[in-house]
Amino acid sequence: MTAIAAFLRKTPVTRLQDYFTGSGFTSLPPVDWTKPEAEVVEPLIKAVDDMNDDEKQRVVLDADRVATLADEPGQNALQNVVLNRAVFDTLEGANNRSLWVFLNESERFRLAEEVRYNDERRRTRSWSGFGVDADLAVRKDPISIAAFTAAIRERFETPNVHVDIFDRHRVILDGEECELVQVAVYREGRPEDTLGFDANSTLARRIVKPVFEAALTYEAATGVIEVVARTRDDRKDLTRFMARDLLGITIGEHHTLPLREYDLTMLLQPFDFSTDAVDGIASVTVKELRLMDLGDAKERIVLESMAGADRTIWQMAEHRIGLDIGGGAHVSGFAGAVPEWIITRARFTIKFHPGPEGGRGKSLTLTVTMPNGCNLKGMTPQERLIGEKYLRLWGILKDDTDEGDVLE
């Protein structure tokens, strides 16, 4: 009940009243909604705990869905799709807004969940990008959608497929937005044999058919299709179906977007990490450099500067091993052929000023491995946005084709 209690305490009583009185619960004990808020929440927590198991579980699941869209990425997803922005924008509190959409625009709430599903998985291992023609119109007529759906049924050998197509936007750098059309795909998977308890609490085997989700977006301004799905082959086929049936074009292997490339040569000497004041960054520190001698690629030197170190990583390199990175990356007094060092990996930490609530400021650790590796994939959308912005600003991320959301 801890999660439920937190949800109830963070949501205005008037919105909770809308939920509990309009959801048809029959086992909820009487609640006096006319009392002051402080005198309603604690009795309500106990009342929910006294509900029958089925209805209490429904509250738990509903609260989990609402709370999932109450953080910053979730609120952005709701803003993408909500119809009544005039009301939505005046509501105070993330839980309040999320529950309001859940109750009043339930279908849009589900679309917001689809937006979040897509955005959280962008540039992860389940993501691919394809560059096609720009300024195409996504077909939303019944015949085109039927053809797209039929192709998915045939490809995955399932009769049950559901497709949603809707307009949305994505926040890129400096508060700018790009317009997208998102296609959400749900398909039924093959039957699976799993263990479970029946109505008599007896362990038994049951047959279930899982539902798999995929998401595609098309940005007309850039001509980029992005797809999130389980396997590379799934992503290629779904993109091909979308291009043919919803965009009216044929897609080939040459449409695949190239891997993003990184350049760490600027870190061969002390580097000034410029930042924008609006992002609240307190400092940027290089914590690790891994170097390789081009003349002997079998060995590496790793320099690591721990917390509290008095020297920069460049000063430490020269002090400890005589490696004068700032002077051209040579080792002082080196006997024989002078090695030509290149940086193959760098790790640096971005520290932020404390927020309005005080406490310690957050930090973001970026690790770049030459030529195409970066840990941005495992970060939240907001962290990726900041990381991409500064990797590009510092010249580490080499890409001139996309302002804000570089594709990998």
Q: What one-character-per-residue DSSP string does 116-128 give? A: HHHHHTTTSTTEE
Q: Kindly write down the DSSP assignment for every residue of 245-307, as one continuous string.
A: III-----GGGBPPPPEE--GGGGS-------GGGTEEEEEEEEEEEEETTEEEEEEEEE--T
Strand partners, 130: 225, 256
Q: What is the pLDDT of residues 53-101, one digit of tens each?
A: 999 999 999 999 999 999 888 998 999 899 999 999 999 999 999 999 9
403 belongs to a structural domain: no
Looking at 232, 255, 278, which one is the last position of a domain? Answer: 255
Tell me the CB-side half-sphere exposure of residue 178, using CA atoms within 13 A: 20
Whether residue 378 sits in one domain with residue 271: yes
For the ranges 110-119, 238-247, 270-279, 337-346, the lowest mean pLDDT is seen at 337-346
Distance CA 15, CA 33 (A): 11
Closest to 174 in 3D by CA, of 392, 408, 398: 392
CB 166 within 8 A of CB 81: yes
> What pLDDT does residue 251 have?
83
Quote the CA–CA distance of 45 and 38 in Å, as a whole number: 12
When comparing pLDDT for 360 and 371, which is higher? 360
Indicate the SS3 state at residue 359: coil
The gap from C-alpha 222 to its chain's centroid, in whole angstroms, comes to 21
The residue out of 217, 233, 255 marking a domain boundary is 255
Give residue for tokens 């689809």: 114
Residue 61 φ/ψ, nearest 5 degrees? -70, -40
Asked if the model's pLDDT at residue 327 lies above 90, the reply is no
Domain assignment of residue 100, yes or no: yes
Question: Structure tokens of 144?
Answer: 């085109």
259 against 298, higher pLDDT? 298
Domain range for 26 is 2-119
Going by pLDDT thresholds of 50, 70 and 90, the confidence category of residue 322 is confident
The answer to whether residues 346 and 289 belong to one domain is: yes
Average pLDDT of the segment spanning 127-156 = 95
Q: Could you tell me if residue 407 is inside a domain? A: no
Determine the Cα–Cα distance for residues 19 and 8; give it in Å rounded to an integer.
11
Answer yes or no: is 166 within a domain.
Answer: yes
Where a domain ends, among 237, 255, 273?
255
Domain shared by 269 and 293, yes or no? yes
Q: Is the domain of 64 the same as that of 142? A: no
Judge if 68 and 169 occupy the same domain.
no
Residue with more model confidence, 326 or 218: 218
Is residue 224 included in any domain, yes or no? yes
Would you say residue 406 lies in a domain?
no
* Amino acid at position 225, single letter: I
In a domain, residue 290? The reply is yes
Number of domains composing the chain: 3
Decide if pLDDT at 408 tops 60: no
Cα–chain center distance at 389: 16
CA distance 6 to 320: 52
Q: Is the pLDDT of residue 282 over 60?
A: yes
Residues 305 and 364 in one domain: yes
Instruction: Report how far residue 31's alpha carbon sits from residue 44's, in angstroms, rounded to the nearest whole number.
Output: 7
Q: What is the pLDDT of residue 216?
A: 97
Tell which residue, 213, 216, 129, 144, has the closest CA to residue 180.
Answer: 216
pLDDT in tens, 6-27: 899 999 999 999 999 999 999 9
400 has a pLDDT exceeding 70: no
Say whether both 134 and 93 belong to one domain: no
Q: What is the pLDDT of residue 402?
A: 41
